[in-house]
Amino acid sequence: MTVSDVAPIITSRFANPDAHTLSGYRATGGYQALAKALSMSPEAVANEVKEASLLGRGGAGFPAGVKWGFCPPGVWPRYLVVNGDESEPGTYKDRMLMERDPHQLIEGVLLACYAVGCGQAFLYVRGEMALAQERIAAALNEAYAAGLVGRNIMGSDFSVDVILHWGAGAYIVGEETALIESLEGERGMPRLKPPFFPAAKGLYMQPTIVNNVETLSNVPWIVNNGAAAYNELGAEASRGTRMFAVSGHVKNPGVFEVEFGTTTFRDIIFDPRYAGGILGDRAVKAFIPGGASAPWFFEEHLDLPLEKGTVDRAGSMLGSGAIVVMDETTDVVRACLSLVRFFAHESCGKCTPCREGTTWLERILTRIISGQGRPTDLDLLLDVSDNISPGIAWPPKQTTICPLGPSAVSPISSALTRFRGEFEALIDDAVAARTAVTPVEITVGSHG
Amino acid sequence: MADETSTQVTGELTITLNGTQVDARKGELLIAAAERHGVYIPHFCYHPRMRPVGMCRMCIVEVDTGRGPTLQPSCMLECAEGMVVDTESDVTSKAQDGILEFLLINHPLDCPVCDKGGECPLQDQTMAYGPGESRFVESKRHHEKPIPISDLVLLDRERCILCDRCTRFAKEVAGDPLIHFINRGNHTEVNTFPDEPFASYFSGNTVQICPVGALTATPYRFKARPWDLEQVESTCQTCSVGCRVAVQSSRNEVLRYVGVDSDPVNWGWLCDKGRFAFESVNGDERLGEPLVRTGGELRPARWSEAIASAAEVLQSTLTAHGPEAIGVIGGARLTNEAAYAWAKLAKGVLGTDNVDAQLGDGLPAEVVLGLPSATIDEVCAPGGTVIVLGPDTKEELPVLFLRLRHAVLNDGVRLIEIAPTATGLSAIATASLIHHPGETAEVARALVGQPGLGTDAGGVNSAALEVARAAIAAGGPVRVVLGRASVAESVSWTVEAASILSSIPDTSFLMALRRGNVRGAIDLGLSPGLLPGRVTLDGGRANLSGLWPTVPATPGMDTTAMLTAAAEGHLRTLVLVGADPLADFPDRDLARRALAGVETIIATDTYLTGSSSLAGVVLPAAGFAEVSGTTTNLEGRVSVLSQRVTPPGTARSDWAIASDLARALGVDLGFASVEDILTEISSAAPSHAGLADALASSSDTDGVVVPLSGPTPADALLSFTVPTSDALLPRHSYSLRLVVGRKLYDEGTAVHHSPAMTNLPVGGALRLNRYDFDRLGVAEGDLVRVIAPALTIEAPVVVDPAVPRGSAGAWFNQDGLCAADLIDITAPLTVLQVESLNGQGAGS
Amino acid sequence: MARLTPENEVLARTIIGRYPVPKSALIPLLHLAQEQDGWVTDEAMAHIAELVGVSAAEVLGTCSFYEMFKREPVGRYLVNICTNISCVLMGSDDLLSHAEQRLGVTVGETTPDGTFTLEGVECIAACTEAPCLQVNYRYRYKVTPESFDELVDDLAAGAFADEIPPHGTLARVRQVIAADRVAGAVEPTDGRQPEWMGDPDGGAS
Ligand SMILES: Cc1cc2nc3c(=O)[nH]c(=O)nc-3n(C[C@H](O)[C@H](O)[C@H](O)COP(=O)(O)O)c2cc1C
Ligand code: SF4
Ligand code: FES
């Protein structure tokens, strides 16, 4: 089955210019799921979502309904935190959902709070997204006024405040425990899991569900149409549809909602309805299948389906749904540096291997590119990587607290494994240039 | 966000540690369990007294919990049944070596000039396991050279490895989050806010726990290299908490104190005053030779001459006026052995019972000994209620404050504070009952009253009282920290309040007396009406027959009574044993008249003070770190004090001075050594029976709490009567009730003679609530006219939100305005009138 | 350059009231301070510390962790050019050099007239529109040297005053919760089960 046959689930209103308003949303079935849910028990709503194989869209791909069930019974209050910090390089979809269909997200938030029993929800929107903040603020204001959020929603005994919270520029805050720290007004540094699994000990040490914007945007549809309908789409555990941003060296870069699990990388990169092929019809050198943290894929991976398990087994991940295509002209050493520099820049600094290691990696790469490479540098790159992520395997092991540190290792191991020659060439040139310099005789004395 | 309660370690389980099955406790961190079994796991950020953060990653080891081995930080991981741990595997070693290399790439290897060199975990790790050659060819981080982050602490950012120990300590333990990380990632640094230095009473601890040399203390920067230092363990006597310390010296000079972790007491922490008071041991102005007044002036004399002269004075007073004409004040600075020797000299040889180690600012000894007692651990035990009715512990008993703070924040202890001003604990108290001075007993009465009483008491509103009653009603034992919240009012109200609180079932008391060994002094008889071992004169007489030549027949006077008698000419000779009434007695006017009213003063001290400089004979005493013996903290915990250096000049230990004086009076006290005295105490003092043996078989660090077993005879013997509360003065709209407490840094000897601390006292000012302040129509720091019972003075006035309306605060022993000048000890409560110099009056 | 104005202090207290724990309002309040002065002053941080009940050092600790808070004045327009992977592949390096030349400053600097500050930033979530930039966090997609010049001219001429507020003002729409709709901040210590969760001792799971 190809994508064209499947109607979009979460981007269905993107073409409507007034989709972000309450009237626009209501005109297209908005808040019907909420009304329906309020006539059901919270447990029934939770079960519906659990039945639907709704894998988290934030990166790790953990089933949302299962996560909701992890709150320890009888422990109150519980909080919901919406992860709208979208910052993984290559990723662009949560912002669209927040700007273009904020009510869909709000409805998803309300459904989750109702099902899980969260007394308050926090919508953490990335700081740099001014329009998304404005749209969500406006949508929340309308929804509050209409009695859809706040006290006694739709006249029921369901009451919840949804608080819009802005971030302020720090990629690491996308990591859920760092997000919670940030929401507590702290420096956004991850907590250790164990013991701080948010569902058990999250915001203010209370049970907390952290879900991605796209994940929650799926929930109204699931409640309206049922888990069975949702599970009819997709393959294996990857059900429903999913948004992918295809960027880089493609003719028609864009964000596409496609059927999850069945569509292949080749489809989405080459099909004219999607990215439409490589710029200048050049060859693919490599592509990143799931955001900057993911190990790279190559030509031979093009026919893999966009299915979580399959991609995991092939040694990478779908991560945040960001496909970045590099054509044959790409300077992989520079591409690699760009990615490593990102992680070094965004390291929170809490743990030694990431704070010191990623910076060191960046400096070695910079040296190689600027003609200061040494023959030992490639082994050094790998050994430093190994000290951050022992064994340099996938899924990564880590000496760090969170996966950010090991993320810097992905581009290095990908590029060095496949394109070691390009690194060596730079180093050889540098060595040659250095030895070619003939000693200059220095005359001591007056000039001229 | 505050975490849940401290980990409760219970139950047993078995783990496999490097191939051997060992026991572990449920909830025990792997790193601690390993250490207990002799397996050291390297670490930097982990500190057993702080919440683990797992940041440095040095402690990662391979752990298999059934799903294959993974690298886990052993400082964050609780032991679980069946866990298989390998701290020596190749994977573990490679990972740890990697971390070490990461830490070193930006660390200047300036060990030869670093204060930490020789005792630096990073240096040790590097020598043991570190990479040989550096693979890091880039340039290291560069920072400004050491920057002062407070008067006492310097920060060298190049050396910092960002372990979060100092910052965690500041926030979690001390509650002074004035240092914090700034910036992010590889630019992270420790920092203070502009113009807000790390002015914490506990800052020195950060220097001690910094695992590298990033934090150094100004008082011992570059003073010595760790390998030159020799050390003994001892107990700090700066206040009565009795923190365990290592006293370190080089070439007969004390150079540093380092906190030692005593589980029941200080958990390794020290306050800065205690830590840096070592400077006063070495002070240039220490008394090194006896002084005798000749021709109106104090002149150096030989010991024989000074002792003979003192004995002559005592003998002639005895002969002419009898023992009642002699008074002995002081002793709280002594060792237990010296206190016993002085008690024996005063009561057993001179025969006077006018003996008091307290200076009118403490509690009656009957109260101290008569109420059921609690240890610090009992006060801080999870689940109970603590009532603090006494001084601001942060100012007067700083490490007790840390323990209380921990108990409240981490162990669910409910804290009720009954005080005339807000204190360091107010912010975390379940109920902070700030009352009118002099109305303590009303508050206590209301507190033990029925729930729902609905009335205010002593200026505390009914809602706050209700919260406090609910805290007590929530169950668990009630522990009272009892002391003097203000020395500007009669002690009787405090005593009455204590008596009321003692009616709550399962209540016991921790006595918040302030001076170093005041508890030991009281226990060993330096208190009127008491003999060594917590017994009355009558109760102890039999014990001492044969050991002591005599025992006074009837109870004598306390310090206030002695000074009053002296001022009226009834006391002829006053012996000051390390006491300075002019500085420390609440009513300076009375102290001045008393010292002028006696014929002769004999003083022993380490420094010449305001009082001892009026003496006829001054005998130089050996001080802390110069004598050995034992000391007793506020719980009644006896621990060993050790000598590390020799005293200056010919200064001698206080017990030897007492012995010599006795000998000059024709009596042999019967001891030739500290051990002899301890032996005698162990048999002569009922509450201390068996002490010598108990100390010998106990851990030096934790000491032993007396009485060693069962109810002390004192409990049976010493019941106290509650004095009737002095009638409260009616409140006048134009008067302010005076509240007098102490600041940690005052003009006392420890601070005054320690150069690093001399700038730290805040200085005296009259402190008023904003409301009263505004009524005066003055500006911050303006001079106002303060009309006290005995005098009218001009003093600066400042706003202090801690002081409630209608009260005026003044600190004790500060320059600028000293509270002792204002207090009239004969009045139940000192009431002031305050006027702006242009005529406005204030009060409420 | 100062503490929060009385109006902003009122707003600050409203914001604080939305959170179960006051410190949670730190980042929103730092944004408010930046909106007021265009950057975050020490005085504002000290004021926020008072309002939230933490030390100023902690406020600074949080403030300095996040990229968007400027502790020194920046230009009226903060021009952030993305230099991350998707944009790099599409030529953002060149765009950045062009911008430096056009504005006459290097990355991180402000033009002498205080109009523009130029920064190279990490991914801003518009990867399919590379190379892209933001002016005061308003997007411009598929930017060419020509369109960049045009943008600079227009901004300098005040052309986008409606769309792009001066640096510091982020979202111009704020959340407002009418008093009769507030459900109330849920204190972490409030162990009650929410009403709609049915029988009191059952959990949702
Ligand atoms: C370094 C790092 C950055 C992350 N950034 C984001 C992010 O920007 N947005 C997001 O939704 N999840 C992000 N995640 C994943 C979150 O930790 C978390 O798994 C997710 O928000 C859970 O929501 P989901 O289950 O709905 O996917 C990040 C994870 C890591 C380790
Ligand atoms: S891995 Fe990096 S980002 Fe994650 S906690 Fe450690 S330092 Fe912070
Ligand atoms: S000691 Fe465990 S991570 Fe630092």
Q: pLDDT tens, C137-168?
A: 999 999 999 999 999 999 999 999 899 999 99
Task: Tell me the residue type at B623.
Answer: G
Three-class SS state of A177: helix
Q: What residue has token string 């002053």?
A: C41
**Numbered ranges of CATH 3.40.228.10 in chain B:** 366-511
Question: Whose C-alpha lies nearest to ligand 1, atom 11?
Answer: A58
Cβ distance A349 to B135 less than 8 Å, yes or no, reads no
Instruction: Tell me chain A's radius of gyration from C-alpha atoms.
Output: 24
pLDDT class of B1 with cuts at 50, 70, 90: very low
**C26-37 and C56-63 helices, crossing angle to 10°:** 80
Tokens of B376: 């610090």
H or E element in which residue B298 lies: strand B297-300
Contacts of C86 in chain A (CB under 8 A): 89-90, 247-248, 253, 324
**Do residues B580 and B609 lie in contact, with contact meaning Cβ atoms separated by under 8 Å?**
yes
Question: Cβ(A193) to ligand 2 under 6 A?
Answer: no
Tokens of B780: 């911050």
Quote the ligand 1 centre to A23 CA distance (angstroms): 31
Interface probe, candidates A81, A193, A351, A364, chain B, greatest B C-beta count within 10 A: A351
Considering CB atoms only, which of A349, A357, A376 is closest to B184?
Answer: A349
Quote the ligand 3 centre to B209 CA distance (angstroms): 14
Ligand at minimal distance from the CA of A129 is: 1
As a whole-number percent, the residues of chain A with pLDDT over 90 amount to 95
pLDDT class of B128 with cuts at 50, 70, 90: confident
d(CA B391, CA B486): 7
pLDDT for B732 equals 59
As a whole-number percent, the residues of chain A with pLDDT over 70 amount to 96
- Judge residue C14's burial from the number of C-beta atoms within 10 Å of its C-beta, 0-12 exposed, 13-18 middle, 19 or more buried: middle
Cβ distance C181 to A150 less than 8 Å, yes or no, reads yes
pLDDT for B723 equals 75
Q: Provide the 10 A C-beta neighbour count for residue B112.
A: 8
Contacts with C97 (C-beta within 8 Å, 6 or more apart), sequence order:
none
**Do residues A193 and C91 lie in contact, with contact meaning Cβ atoms separated by under 8 Å?**
no
Calculate how close chain C gets to B105, using CA atoms only, in Å: 23
Three-class SS state of B717: helix
Contacts of A195 in chain B (CB under 8 A): 76, 78
Quote the ligand 3 centre to B409 CA distance (angstroms): 23
DSSP A313-337: HTT---TTTEEEEEETT--HHHHHH
Question: Which CATH code for domain C6-71+172-181?
Answer: 1.10.10.1590
Pairs across B and C, CB distance < 8 A = 42
| A321 Rama class: left (phi>0) / alpha (psi -120 to 50) / beta | left
Looking at the CA of residue A358, tell me the nearest atom of ligand 2.
2
Tens digit of each residue's pLDDT (9 = 90 or more) over B695-749: 999 988 999 999 987 655 444 456 777 777 666 665 555 689 999 999 999 999 9
Tens digit of each residue's pLDDT (9 = 90 or more) over B465-481: 999 999 999 999 999 99
Range B786-801 average pLDDT: 94
**Do residues B406 and B455 lie in contact, with contact meaning Cβ atoms separated by under 8 Å?**
no
d(CA B33, CA B11): 13
Alpha helices by DSSP H, B53-89: none
CATH of B10-105 given 3.40.50.2300, 3.10.20.740, 1.10.10.10, 2.160.10.10: 3.10.20.740
pLDDT surpasses 90 at A260: yes
**Do residues C195 and A114 lie in contact, with contact meaning Cβ atoms separated by under 8 Å?**
no
Looking at the CA of residue A215, tell me the nearest atom of ligand 1.
26
Q: What residue has token string 């999607």?
A: A274
Altogether, the residues listed in chain C come to a count of 205
CA dihedral A45, A49, A51, A54 (to 10 degrees): 180
Tens digit of each residue's pLDDT (9 = 90 or more) over B280-321: 998 999 999 999 999 999 999 999 999 999 999 999 999 999
d(CA B273, CA B252): 22
Architecture, CATH, for domain C77-156: 3-Layer(aba) Sandwich (3.40)
Q: What angle do CA B285, B290, B291 make, to 5 degrees?
A: 85
Nearest CA in chain B to A344: B185
Quote the ligand 1 centre to A402 CA distance (angstroms): 11
Calculate how close chain A gets to C111, using CA atoms only, in Å: 22
Nearest CA in chain C to B194: C42
**Do residues B425 and B379 lie in contact, with contact meaning Cβ atoms separated by under 8 Å?**
no
Cβ distance B186 to A350 less than 8 Å, yes or no, reads no
Mode of pairing for the β-strands spanning B414-419 and B431-434:
parallel
Average pLDDT for chain B: 93
Considering CB atoms only, which of B1, B184, B192 is closest to C57?
Answer: B192
pLDDT for B842 equals 55
**How far is Cα of residue C196 from the mean position of the Cα atoms in its chain?**
36
Range A291-320 average pLDDT: 98
**Do residues A343 and A291 lie in contact, with contact meaning Cβ atoms separated by under 8 Å?**
no
**How far is Cα of residue A435 from the mean position of the Cα atoms in its chain?**
46
Please report the sign of the dihedral spanned by the C-alpha atoms of residue A123, residue A128, residue A132, residue A134.
positive
Query: Looking at domain B366-511, what is its CATH homologous superfamily?
Result: Dimethylsulfoxide Reductase, domain 2 (3.40.228.10)
Tens digit of each residue's pLDDT (9 = 90 or more) over B155-189: 999 999 999 999 999 999 999 999 999 999 999 99
Considering CB atoms only, which of A184, A348, A376 is closest to B185?
Answer: A348
Specify which residues B481 forms β-bridges with. B388, B510
pLDDT surpasses 90 at A303: yes
pLDDT class of A440 with cuts at 50, 70, 90: low
Whole-structure pTM value: 0.95
Interface probe, candidates A157, A160, A165, chain C, greatest C C-beta count within 10 A: A165
Mode of pairing for the β-strands spanning B179-182 and B189-192:
antiparallel
Considering CB atoms only, which of A156, A184, A245 is closest to C24?
Answer: A184
Contacts of B163 in chain A (CB under 8 A): none
d(CA C29, CA C44): 9
CA dihedral C125, C130, C136, C137 (to 10 degrees): -20
Q: Hey, which of A66, A88, A111 would you mutate to test ligand 1's pocket, going by the most ligand atoms within 8 Å of its Cβ?
A: A88
Question: Cβ(A351) to ligand 2 under 6 A?
Answer: yes
DSSP B215-252: EEEGGGTTT--GGG-EEEEEE--SSTT--EEEEEEETT
The torsion angles phi and psi of B258, rounded to 5 degrees, stand at: -125, 130
Prior bond to B505 cis, omega within 30?
A: no
Calculate how close chain A gets to B220, using CA atoms only, in Å: 30
Q: What residue has token string 């003083």?
A: B603
Lay out the sheet containing A284-288: strands in order across.
Answer: A254-259, A241-248, A322-327, A284-288
Cβ distance C20 to A182 less than 8 Å, yes or no, reads no
Cβ distance B180 to C55 less than 8 Å, yes or no, reads yes
Q: Hey, which of A181, A186, A351, A397 would you mutate to test ligand 2's pocket, going by the most ligand atoms within 8 Å of its Cβ?
A: A351
Quote the ligand 2 centre to A348 CA distance (angstroms): 5
Question: Which CATH code for domain B291-362+517-538+551-698?
Answer: 3.40.50.740
Could you tell me the residue ranges of all domains in chain C? 6-71+172-181, 77-156
Interface probe, candidates C50, C54, C64, C68, chain B, greatest B C-beta count within 10 A: C64
Range C63-79 average pLDDT: 98
Mode of pairing for the β-strands spanning B507-511 and B478-482:
parallel
Contacts of C59 in chain B (CB under 8 A): 193
Contacts of C56 in chain B (CB under 8 A): 193, 196
As a whole-number percent, the residues of chain B with pLDDT over 90 amount to 86
Task: Tell me the residue type at A399.
Answer: T
Contacts with C104 (C-beta within 8 Å, 6 or more apart), sequence order:
C111
Cβ distance A400 to B103 less than 8 Å, yes or no, reads no
pLDDT class of B227 with cuts at 50, 70, 90: confident
Range A370-381 average pLDDT: 96
Tokens of B650: 């010919």
Mode of pairing for the β-strands spanning B20-26 and B355-356:
unpaired
Tokens of B636: 């009644």
Measuring from each residue's beta carbon to the nearest atom of ligand 3, which residues come in under 6 Å?
B 43-46, 54-59, 73, 75
Tell me, letter by letter, the H, E, C secondary structure of B471-503. Answer: HHHCCCCEEEEECCCCCCECHHHHHHHHHHHCC
**Numbered ranges of CATH 3.40.50.740 in chain B:** 291-362+517-538+551-698
ipTM: 0.95
Average pLDDT for chain A: 96
Contacts with B676 (C-beta within 8 Å, 6 or more apart), sequence order:
B670
Name which of A319, A317, A291 is nearest A91 in CA terms.
A291
Domains, chain A, ordered by start:
22-230 (3.40.50.11540), 234-327 (3.10.20.600), 332-435 (1.20.1440.230)
Considering CB atoms only, which of C21, C58, C66 is closest to B180?
Answer: C58
d(CA C167, CA A137): 20
Q: Provide the 10 A C-beta neighbour count for residue B434.
A: 21
Question: Whose C-alpha lies nearest to ligand 2, atom 4?
Answer: A402
Contacts of A398 in chain B (CB under 8 A): 71
Cβ distance C60 to B178 less than 8 Å, yes or no, reads no
Task: Tell me the residue type at B569.
Answer: G
pLDDT for A292 equals 97
pLDDT surpasses 90 at B225: no
DSSP B98-161: HHHHHHHHTS---GGG-TTTTS-HHHHHHHHH--SS----SPPP---S-EESSSSEEE-TTT--
d(CA B739, CA B489): 8
Calculate how close chain C gets to B159, using CA atoms only, in Å: 20
Calculate how close chain C gets to A437, using CA atoms only, in Å: 31
Interface probe, candidates A87, A179, A203, A350, chain B, greatest B C-beta count within 10 A: A350
Name which of B15, B101, B115 is nearest B58 in CA terms.
B101
H or E element in which residue B803 lies: none
Question: Which CATH code for domain B736-842?
Answer: 2.40.40.20
Please report the sign of the dihedral spanned by the C-alpha atoms of residue B93, residue B94, residue B96, residue B101.
positive
Tens digit of each residue's pLDDT (9 = 90 or more) over B380-392: 999 999 999 999 9
pLDDT for B62 equals 98
Mode of pairing for the β-strands spanning B355-356 and B385-389:
unpaired
Contacts of C65 in chain B (CB under 8 A): 181, 183-184
Question: Cβ(A348) to ligand 2 under 6 A?
Answer: yes
Tokens of B75: 């400082």
Contacts with B192 (C-beta within 8 Å, 6 or more apart), sequence order:
B149, B150, B178, B179, B180, B198, C57
pLDDT surpasses 90 at A331: yes
**Do residues C83 and C93 lie in contact, with contact meaning Cβ atoms separated by under 8 Å?**
yes
pLDDT surpasses 60 at B843: no
**Do residues B613 and B291 lie in contact, with contact meaning Cβ atoms separated by under 8 Å?**
no
Q: What residue has token string 């030897």?
A: B656
Tens digit of each residue's pLDDT (9 = 90 or more) over A214-227: 999 999 999 999 99
Indicate the range of A24-38, A208-222, B443-457 predicted with least confidence: B443-457
Q: Provide the 10 A C-beta neighbour count for residue B222.
A: 9
The DSSP 8-state label assigned to residue C179 in this structure reads T
Question: Cβ(A414) to ligand 1 under 6 A?
Answer: no
Q: Provide the 10 A C-beta neighbour count for residue A39.
A: 9
Contacts of A95 in chain C (CB under 8 A): 125-126
Contacts of C193 in chain A (CB under 8 A): 74, 76, 117
Range A189-213 average pLDDT: 96
d(CA B514, CA B361): 9
Cβ distance C183 to A42 less than 8 Å, yes or no, reads no
